[in-house]
Amino acid sequence: MNDQQLLRFSRHILLDEIGIEGQEKLLSAHVLVVGCGGLGAAALPYLAAAGIGSLTIADADTIDETNLQRQITFTEADIGKNKALVMQGRLKQI
C-alpha cells in the first residue's frame, strides 16, 4: 500500500476488524455487480470508495428518465446512455 492509499483508507485501517491486512484484501479484491439499477447504483459507489481493487459491472440496459428518482448516480444528461458505461465513468471519478 502506498502513502496515498494509507492516508485515504486510514479510517478503515484504524478499525481492529479491518486494519492494514483487511484493507490490502479489499484493494486486491474483485467484485462482479450484476445490474446498475436500484441496488447496483447505490452499492457500486460505496464499493469503489472502499477501495475494492477491481469492479466488473454487468448491465446492458440504458438509462431512462423513470430511473432517476431511485438511481441517483445517473442524471438527466445520461438518459439514453448505457448504464454500465456511465457508471464506469462515475466510479473512475471516485
Could you tell me if 63 and 79 are in contact, meaning their C-beta atoms sit under 8 angstroms apart?
A: yes
Sorted by where each starts, the structural domains of the chain and their CATH numbers stand as 27-93 (3.50.50.80)
User: End-to-end CA distance of the chain, in Å?
Assistant: 18
Query: What's this model's pTM, rounded to 2 decimal places?
Result: 0.87
Q: Are 68 and 41 in contact (CB under 8 A)?
A: no
Q: How many other C-beta atoms are found inside a 10 Å radius of the C-beta of residue 63? A: 24
Across-strand partners of 76?
none
Residues 57-91 have pLDDT tens digits of 999 999 999 999 999 999 999 999 999 999 999 99
Q: Which residues pair with 32 in a beta bridge?
A: 56
Nearest Cα to Cα of residue 13 among 2, 23, 5? 23
